[in-house]
């Protein structure tokens, strides 16, 4: 069995960012495994711009952003296998690969989980009605239009105000389709404010909050959807139904981290993030298995995926060289007003970046972190939105010798 110092599962921004940083830190035996024909992950189909503002200080398209990392990986001669899927991963870090050449088993000192996420589908929402063509997720519509040059519809309804849905509402308008509206079940949008402005307001596409699709109609092709209003508890309000004719329903209703392989290896998941429970070194509950990017928690901007993967690489290098990481003494838990936090544990030895999301929109509020009852961080936030991940640096010298950490929004 061939063995590597690090096997990285997924050749998207997280996997490539980690691989490049590892190589630069002197880790020689690295294998990146990517199931698609090309490296770059989901960015290959995101042809709009706005990528790289934080990481590179310039606005790039998704493929341009990805290409920088692909070229760097090539320059550093990192072994990247495309058209190759990881089928199985064990706790002992034995990795089963599947490609045209057949099955192959390799061993790894450290494994980096960088499998990204997938989209929630109609099945997950259980919308009533028939099963016609024309109902698809925003990512599928994006794939058809941007990678295959296939127009997916003419009269469009978008369900969910996630960023990819907003971007596709604009994209379809630019291609000549009529987008009749974006319908969001929550009383606030779930996409970034800049995408509401640039993708909906600039094109006069209406956004209906506290609304959802309650029925899908059509035989061969979608012909209409029923739209209903909902109350604060997201229950449908009887009598508010109206029919809207359309041939395409685009779903932008959330992303789910792809953690089947993680579960195979016995990695413990956080029910809030649907990603692995990690410490400040991005190490999961299984020693030597690390996770970063969308497989760990859904990010709104790819720049933060890259920065996270680069931070993870420091820890993987330490693990590969010493075969151990510091023990985790403390848990980090989300308190009042906080949906989730990453990491969920820490050793107290090192500084780290705390990532979190709030549960609902709030203005002029304060994020606090307490350890064992003592405040170690207090930050005012002008506008806290569930759509925007918040990040704070926790310096090592602020951490106390004892006590779990609790994050709250006041
Ligand atoms: C449809 C869609 C559109 C998006 N648009 C934007 C956007 O416009 N702007 C933005 O900032 N962010 C966007 N995002 C968020 C985006 O996912 C992240 O910014 C970033 O691409 C995540 O990087 P990643 O490496 O974690 O995951 P990905 O880019 O998803 O890469 C994961 C890679 O792992 C591979 N993989 C998975 N399982 C296996 C396996 N078993 N074996 C081998 N390979 C495997 C996949 O093929 C994929 O290439 C979008 C996400 C989606 C789903």
Q: Where are the alpha helices (DSSP H) in 84-129?
A: 122-125
Environment class of 65 (CB within 10 Å of its CB; exposed 0-12, middle 13-18, buried 19+): buried
Q: How far is CA 350 from the centre of its chain?
A: 25
Sorted by sequence, the CB contacts under 8 Å of residue 186 that are 6+ apart come out as 209, 210, 234
Q: How far is the CA of 265 from the centre of ligand 1 (A)?
A: 21
Kindly tell me if the per-residue pLDDT of 221 is higher than 90.
Answer: yes
Q: In what order do the strands lie in the sheet with 362-371?
A: 345-346, 330-334, 405-409, 362-371, 374-384
In this prediction, residue 50 carries a pLDDT of 87
Checking if the pLDDT of 401 tops 90, the result is no
What is residue 192's predicted lDDT score, i.e. its pLDDT?
A: 86
Segment 256-308, tens digit of pLDDT: 999 999 999 999 999 999 999 999 999 999 999 999 999 999 998 899 999 99
The β-bridge relationship of strands 255-257 and 117-119 is antiparallel
d(CA 169, CA 209): 16
In whole angstroms, how far apart are CA 54 and each of 67, 131, 372?
Answer: 17, 42, 34
pLDDT interval class at 169 (50, 70, 90): very high
Q: Is the CB of 13 under 6 A from ligand 1?
A: yes
**Environment class of residue 223 by beta-carbon count within 10 Å: exposed (0-12), middle (13-18) or buried (19+)?**
middle
Counting from 1 in the atom list of ligand 1, the atom nearest the Cα of 304 is 19
Q: Compute the average pLDDT of residues 234-245.
A: 96
Q: Is the CB of 198 under 6 A from ligand 1?
A: no
What is the distance between the alpha carbons of residues 28 and 11, in angstroms, rounded to a whole number? 17
pTM of the model: 0.94
Residue 199 alpha carbon to ligand 1 centre in Å? 21
The answer, yes or no, to whether the previous bond of 343 is cis (omega within 30 of 0) is yes
Q: pLDDT, tens digit, for every residue of 64-98?
A: 999 999 999 999 999 999 999 999 999 999 999 99
> What is the band of 123 on the pLDDT scale with cuts at 50, 70, 90?
confident
* 277's tokens: 């429970």
Question: Is 172 a residue whose pLDDT tops 90?
Answer: yes
Cα of 370 to ligand 1 centre, how many Å? Answer: 34
257 CB less than 6 Å from ligand 1? no
* Close Cβ partners of 373 (under 8 Å, ≥ 6 residues apart): 403
Name the residue at shortest CA distance from atom 34 of ligand 1: 10
Q: Is the pLDDT of residue 317 over 90?
A: yes
43 Cβ closer than 6 Å to some ligand 1 atom: yes
Instruction: State if residue 255 touches ligand 1 by the CB under 6 angstroms criterion.
Output: yes
Tell me how far the alpha carbon of residue 39 lies from the centroid of ligand 1, in angstroms: 11
Do 308 and 340 contact (CB within 8 A), yes or no?
Answer: no
Are 365 and 397 a contacting pair, CB within 8 Å?
A: no
Supply the pLDDT for residue 400: 82
For 34-65, the pLDDT digits (tens) are 999 999 999 999 999 889 998 889 999 999 99
Mean pLDDT (whole number) for 124-135: 93
Q: Hey, which residues does 186 pair with through a beta bridge?
A: none
User: Which contiguous run of DSSP H or E holds residue 362?
Assistant: strand 362-371
**pLDDT tens for each residue of 176-214:** 999 999 999 999 998 888 899 999 999 999 999 999 999
Which tens digit of pLDDT belongs to each residue from 331-351? Answer: 999 999 999 999 999 998 899
Taking alpha carbons only, the member of 216, 236, 239, 211 closest to residue 226 is: 216
Residue 41 Cα, ligand 1 centroid: separation in angstroms? 5
Tokens describing residue 400: 């106390």
CB–CB of 62/48 below 8 Å? yes
Angle at 62 between CA 167 and CA 253, to 5 degrees: 35
Which residue's CA is minimally distant from atom 10 of ligand 1? 301
Is residue 372 scored above 90 in pLDDT? no
Token pair for residue 102? 């057949």
CB of 31 shorter than 6 A to ligand 1: no
């Amino acid at each position: 069995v061939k063995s590597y110092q690090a096997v990285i599962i997924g050749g998207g921004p997280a996997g490539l960012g980690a691989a490049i940083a590892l190589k630069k830190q002197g880790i020689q035996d690295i294998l990146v495994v990517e199931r698609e024909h090309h490296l770059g992950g989901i960015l290959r189909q995101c042809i709009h711009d706005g990528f790289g503002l934080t990481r590179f200080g310039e606005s790039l398209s998704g493929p341009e952003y990805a290409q920088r990392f692909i070229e760097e990986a090539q320059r550093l001669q990192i072994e990247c296998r495309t058209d190759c899927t990881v089928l199985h991963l064990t706790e002992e870090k034995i990795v089963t690969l599947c490609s045209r050449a057949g099955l192959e088993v390799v061993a790894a000192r450290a494994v980096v989980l960088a499998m990204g996420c997938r989209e929630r589908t109609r099945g997950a929402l259980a919308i009533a009605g028939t099963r016609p063509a024309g109902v698809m997720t925003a990512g599928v519509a994006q794939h058809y239009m941007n990678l295959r040059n296939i127009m997916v519809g003419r009269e469009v309804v978008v369900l969910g105000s996630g960023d990819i849905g907003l971007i596709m509402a604009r994209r379809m308008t630019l291609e000549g389709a009529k987008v009749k509206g974006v319908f969001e079940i929550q009383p606030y949008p779930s996409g970034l404010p800049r995408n509401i402005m640039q993708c909906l307001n600039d094109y006069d596409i209406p956004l209906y909050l506290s609304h959802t699709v309650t029925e899908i109609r059509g035989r061969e092709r979608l012909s209409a959807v029923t739209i209903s209003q909902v109350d604060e508890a997201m229950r449908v309000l009887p009598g508010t139904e109206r029919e809207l004719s359309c041939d395409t329903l685009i779903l932008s209703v959330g992303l789910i981290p792809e953690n089947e392989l993680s579960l195979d290896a016995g990695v413990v998941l956080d029910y809030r993030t649907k990603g692995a429970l990690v410490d400040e070194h991005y190490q999961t509950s299984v020693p030597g298995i690390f996770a970063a990017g969308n497989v760990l928690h859904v990010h709104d901007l790819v720049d933060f995926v890259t920065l996270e993967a680069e931070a993870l690489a420091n820890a993987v290098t330490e693990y590969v060289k010493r075969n151990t990481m510091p023990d985790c003494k403390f848990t980090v838990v989300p308190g009042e007003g906080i949906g989730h936090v990453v990491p969920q544990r820490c050793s107290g030895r090192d500084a780290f970046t705390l990532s979190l999301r709030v549960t609902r929109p709030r203005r002029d509020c304060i994020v606090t972190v307490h350890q064992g009852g003592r405040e170690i961080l207090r930050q005012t936030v002008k506008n806290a939105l569930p759509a925007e991940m918040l990040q704070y640096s926790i310096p090592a010298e602020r951490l106390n010798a004892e006590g779990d950490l609790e994050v709250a929004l006041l």
